[in-house]
A and B are shown apart, each in its own frame.
Chain A
Amino acid sequence: DAMVIQNPRYQVTQFGKPVTLSCSQTLNHNVMYWYQQKSSQAPKLLFHYYDKDFNNEADTPDNFQSRRPNTSFCFLDIRSPGLGDAAMYLCATSEVDSGQETQYFGPGTRLLVL
Chain B
Amino acid sequence: GQNIDQPTEMTATEGAIVQINCTYQTSGFNGLFWYQQHAGEAPTFLSYNVLDGLEEKGRFSSFLSRSKGYSYLLLKELQMKDSASYLCAVRLINDYKLSFGAGTTVTVRA
Contacts and interface: CB of A to CB of B under 8 A. Distances in A.
A41 B102 contact: yes
Contacts of A70: none
Contacts of A101: 91, 96
A25 to B, nearest CB: 13
A42 B97 contact: no
Interface centre among A31, A42, A94, A110 (most CB of B within 10 A): A42
A100 B101 contact: no
A104 B45 contact: yes
A37 B101 CA distance: 12
B96 A90 contact: no
A40 B44 contact: no
Contacts of B105: 40
A8 interface: no
Size class of the contact patch on chain B: 20 to 34
Contacts of A105: 35, 42-44
A80 interface: no
B48 A102 contact: yes
A68 interface: no
Contacts of B48: 100, 102
Nearest to A94: B96
A42 B87 contact: yes
A31 B102 CA distance: 23
B69 to A, nearest CB: 17
A66 B3 CA distance: 28
Interface string A84-110: 000010100010100011111111101
B33 interface: yes
Contact of A108 (B41, B96, B98, B102): B41
7 contacts: A45-B98, A88-B40, A90-B43, A100-B48, A102-B33, A108-B40, A108-B42
Interface of B: 4, 8, 33, 35, 40-45, 48, 87, 91, 96-98, 100-103, 105
